[in-house]
């Protein structure tokens, strides 16, 4: 999808999110996520993201203090975290954004977050699997539920430890890697 088509996609994304959010809230009566968290318990919903492949930078407030997500801001996040290989845009799960945000705030830094991988197209993920890269066949990146990241000035070990202490979602790291994997799945961890 190119940037010109994004306005059509964004409207569809907004409609989908609105319907999904209303339905989820009606069915559950609360915010749904890997842990029961109320909006007032979450840190400020603001991140500075840098896509290391495109050198694009986004300072974004994606959620206000009352817990309302800014759909236009989420569209901007989706565009920045698109598949760097194919350009395909996928919907990034707000729970993985919250995971990233919680980790950053736990570390006590406002430093920008370098994104190594956000959404991956199925074709690109299959290529990574076939060539023996660090990619799972059923990767949560394909569902927009995972982000590989680093934070300049923060050692990866410290980043990983902060994420593990939160027990929020998946936390993965790899030998000789330059990033930590965070996802919105159930809490689990791995080191390969």
If you write DSSP's letter for every residue of 57-86 in order, what string do you get?
EEEEEEE-TTS-B-HHHHHHHHHHTS-TTT
Write the pLDDT tens digit of every residue in 159-175. Answer: 999 999 999 999 999 88
pTM exceeding the 0.75 threshold for the entire prediction: yes
Residue 82 backbone dihedrals phi, psi, to 5 degrees? -65, 165
Highest mean pLDDT among 22-26, 32-36, 85-89: 85-89
Residue 6: how many CB atoms within 10 A of its CB?
17
Spatial CA neighbour of 152 closest among 110, 114, 115, 99: 114
Spatial CA neighbour of 89 closest among 102, 100, 80, 99: 80
Give the whole-angstrom CA distance, residue 89 versus residue 119: 7
pLDDT confidence tier of residue 17, bands split at 50, 70 and 90: low
Please enumerate in sequence order all residues whose Cβ is within 8 A of that of 66, keeping only pairs 6 or more positions apart, or say none.
Answer: 39
Percent over 70 (pLDDT), the chain: 79
For residues 181 and 145, the answer to whether their CB atoms sit within 8 Å is: no
Segments in the chain forming alpha helices (H): 6-28, 71-80, 94-107, 122-130, 156-166
- The three-class DSSP label of residue 159 is helix
Q: What angle do CA 104, 33, 125 make, to 5 degrees?
A: 75
Question: Residue 41 pLDDT more than 80?
Answer: no
Please state the rounded mean pLDDT for residues 38-57.
Answer: 89
Per-residue pLDDT, 78? 98
Spatial CA neighbour of 53 closest among 76, 95, 86: 86
């Amino acid at each position: 999808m190119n940037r010109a088509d994004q306005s059509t996609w964004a409207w569809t994304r907004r409609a989908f999110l609105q319907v999904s959010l209303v339905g989820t809230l009606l069915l559950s009566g609360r915010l749904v996520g890997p842990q029961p968290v109320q909006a007032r318990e979450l840190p400020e919903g603001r991140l500075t993201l840098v896509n290391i492949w495109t050198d694009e930078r986004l300072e974004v407030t994606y959620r206000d203090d009352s817990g309302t997500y800014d759909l236009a801001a989420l569209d901007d996040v989706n565009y920045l975290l698109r598949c760097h290989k194919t350009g395909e845009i996928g919907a990034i799960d707000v729970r993985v954004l919250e995971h990233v945000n919680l980790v950053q705030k736990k570390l006590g830094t406002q430093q920008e977050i370098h994104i190594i991988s956000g959404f991956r197209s199925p074709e690109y993920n299959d290529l990574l699997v076939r060539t023996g890269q660090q990619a799972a066949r059923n990767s949560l990146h394909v569902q927009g539920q995972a982000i590989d990241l680093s934070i300049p000035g923060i050692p990866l070990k410290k980043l990983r430890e902060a994420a593990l202490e939160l027990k929020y979602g998946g936390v993965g790291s790899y030998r000789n890697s330059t990033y930590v994997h965070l996802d919105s799945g159930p809490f689990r961890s791995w080191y390969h």
